[in-house]
Amino acid sequence: MRSVEVPLGRRSYAIKVGGGLLARLGVECAKLEPDLGQRCAIITDSNVGKKFAKAVSDSLFRSGYLPVTITVPAGEKSKCIAVVEKCYDRLAAHRLERKSFIIALGGGVVGDLAGFVAATYLRGIDFVQVPTTLLAQVDSSVGGKTGVNLRAGKNLVGAFYQPKLVLCDLDTLKTLPEREFRAGLAEVIKYGIIFDAKLFAQLECDLSKILKREAKTLSEIIARCCEIKAEVVSQDEMESGRRAILNFGHTIGHAIENSFGYGKFLHGEAISIGQVAAAKLSQKTLGLTNRDVGRIKNLFERAGLPTRIILTSAQRKKLFVAMLLDKKVSGGEIKFVLAKKIGKVVWGQKVPMKLIESVLA
C-alpha cells in the first residue's frame, strides 16, 4: 500500500492506494484522529453499490460502526439539489450526529455529491472518500472540491471541504467499463502536461501496460497523480491562484459537457477534447511547439480518447454561452490555463474569442 499525504495543516489527510482496501475501511477509520462517532452513512450509486456496498458496510460493522447505506441513481443526474435533499432526510432519519461521518463510495458524481452533503449536514460532518473509478482516484476524490450541478451549469453549487481520508482500492478498477477507464486516463495525462514531463514520458512508454490495468504500474501512476494534486492543492486550497492549473482543458471541456447535456460525453472525453484545444491555443499564444502539440494529441488518441468535436452552428453557439457561465469567468472574460511546454503551464491567460473558435473549427 502506498500513502500520499495532503498537507493542509489541521485539515491534512492521507490518500492510501493499494489492493484489498475496501475490506480494511473500518480499521482505517478507527485509526483516524479525532475519533469518529459510531453512526455513519455510505452514500453510493445503484451501479457501484451492487458491487461494493456490502463489503464496505461489513468492514465498518466489524470495526464497531453503525452504517446505513444510501443509494442514489447512477449518473450525473444525481448531482443535483433534489438528491442532496433526499440524502439529508435519510441522514436525519438515521440520526446522524455531529461526530457521525459519511463514506463516499463511487466515482466522481458520488464523491462530489456525498462530499457536499457532508460539508453541509449539521454545518459539516466528517467524510471519507472511497473512489472506485480511475478518474475519481486520481482527481475528484482529492482536494476537497465538492458540489452539484444547476440547470445553468456544472458544479455551480458546492463547498471546499476536505475528507479525513481517501482510500483508493485498485481492485475496484478491475470491473470498470473500458470506456470509463479510458476517460480516467484523460486526467492522468493532464498531470503530465501541467506538472511533470517525466510522468508524461512514462505514460507514452507504459500506455499498453496501463490499458491492461497492470496493478504495479497503475499503483505507481495513481499515487504520482495524487502526489501532484496534493502538492498543487496544498499551495492553494481555495483556488485563488495556482490551483487553477488543474483546470487545464476544463473550460472547453465543461462547456462541451454542459451544452451537449451530461451523458453524451464522459467528463474525461470532454476534457480530452478540451486539452487538445488548449494545446492548440497554447501553440498560437505561448509558442508551445508543434512537436509538443503532436505528442499531446497522439497520447490522447492512443488512449482511445476523442481529440476533436464537430459542431453545428447551433451547438457552437450553445458551447460559447456555456463557457461564459463557467465559474472561472471573471468580469465577463474567459481565462485559460495554457501550456508553455509539456510539464509547464500558466493560468489566467486571456484568449480572444476568435482564436477559441478557430481551434474548435
By annotation, the residues acting in catalysis are 123, 145, 187, 229, 239, 243, 247, 250, 254, 267
The partner residues of 330 in beta bridges, in order of sequence, read 333
CB-nearer residue toward a second copy: 18 or 115: 115
Q: How far is the CB of 37 from a second copy (least distance, A)?
A: 7
53-to-177, 315, 327 alpha-carbon distances in Å: 18, 40, 34
Report how far residue 6's alpha carbon sits from residue 237's, in angstroms, rounded to the nearest whole number. 11
206-to-177, 180, 294 alpha-carbon distances in Å: 20, 19, 18
The partner residues of 169 in beta bridges, in order of sequence, read 18
Among positions 119, 186, 305, 360, the unique one binding a second copy when judged by CB under 8 A: 119
Q: Is the dihedral of CA 194, 198, 201, 202 positive or negative?
A: negative
Instruction: Please check whether residue 119 is in contact with residue 145, taking contact to mean a CB–CB distance below 8 angstroms.
Output: no
Among positions 31, 33, 151, 290, the unique one binding a second copy when judged by CB under 8 A: 151
Among positions 9, 35, 123, 314, the unique one binding a second copy when judged by CB under 8 A: 123
Cell numbers linked to 275 = 486539452
Q: With binding defined as CB under 8 A, does residue 302 bind a second copy?
A: no
Q: With binding defined as CB under 8 A, does residue 98 bind a second copy?
A: yes
213-to-35, 120, 173, 210 alpha-carbon distances in Å: 36, 36, 8, 5
Among positions 64, 73, 124, 177, the unique one binding a second copy when judged by CB under 8 A: 124
Select from 57-65, 157-165, 175-183, 337-345 the region that touches a second copy (CB under 8 A).
Answer: 157-165
Select from 40-48, 82-90, 173-181, 290-298 the region that touches a second copy (CB under 8 A).
Answer: 82-90
- Of 57, 70, 68, whose CA–CA distance to 29 is shortest? 57
Q: How far is the CB of 152 from a second copy (least distance, A)?
A: 4
Which helix (H) or strand (E) segment holds residue 78: the answer is: none
CB-nearer residue toward a second copy: 97 or 301: 97
CB-nearer residue toward a second copy: 38 or 219: 38
Select from 87-95, 105-113, 172-180, 336-344 the region that touches a second copy (CB under 8 A).
Answer: 87-95
Cell numbers linked to 32 = 483516524
Residues near 28 by beta carbon (within 8 Å), at least 6 away in sequence = 16, 21, 165, 167
CB-nearer residue toward a second copy: 243 or 267: 243
Select from 101-109, 112-120, 226-234, 284-292 the region that touches a second copy (CB under 8 A).
Answer: 112-120
Q: How far is the CB of 155 from a second copy (least distance, A)?
A: 8
Q: With binding defined as CB under 8 A, does residue 195 bind a second copy?
A: no
Report how far residue 260's alpha carbon sits from residue 6's, in angstroms, rounded to the nearest whole number. 35
- How many residues sit close enough to a second copy to count as binding (CB under 8 A)? 40
Q: With binding defined as CB under 8 A, does residue 325 bind a second copy?
A: yes
Q: With binding defined as CB under 8 A, does residue 152 bind a second copy?
A: yes
Q: Is the dihedral of CA 140, 145, 146, 151 positive or negative?
A: negative
Among positions 67, 106, 147, 343, the unique one binding a second copy when judged by CB under 8 A: 147
Instruction: Please check whether residue 308 is in contact with residue 316, taking contact to mean a CB–CB distance below 8 angstroms.
Output: no
- Of 233, 347, 222, whose CA–CA distance to 282 is shortest? 347
Cell numbers linked to 63 = 470495526
CB-nearer residue toward a second copy: 180 or 239: 239
Among positions 2, 24, 99, 284, the unique one binding a second copy when judged by CB under 8 A: 99
CB-nearer residue toward a second copy: 36 or 221: 36
Q: With binding defined as CB under 8 A, does residue 320 bind a second copy?
A: no
- Is residue 93 helix, strand or coil? helix
- Is residue 113 helix, strand or coil? helix
Q: With binding defined as CB under 8 A, does residue 209 bind a second copy?
A: no
Q: Report the interface residues with a second copy, using CB under 8 A.
A: 37-38, 81, 84-85, 88-89, 92-93, 95, 97-99, 116, 119-124, 145, 147, 150-153, 155-160, 238-239, 324-325, 327, 329-331
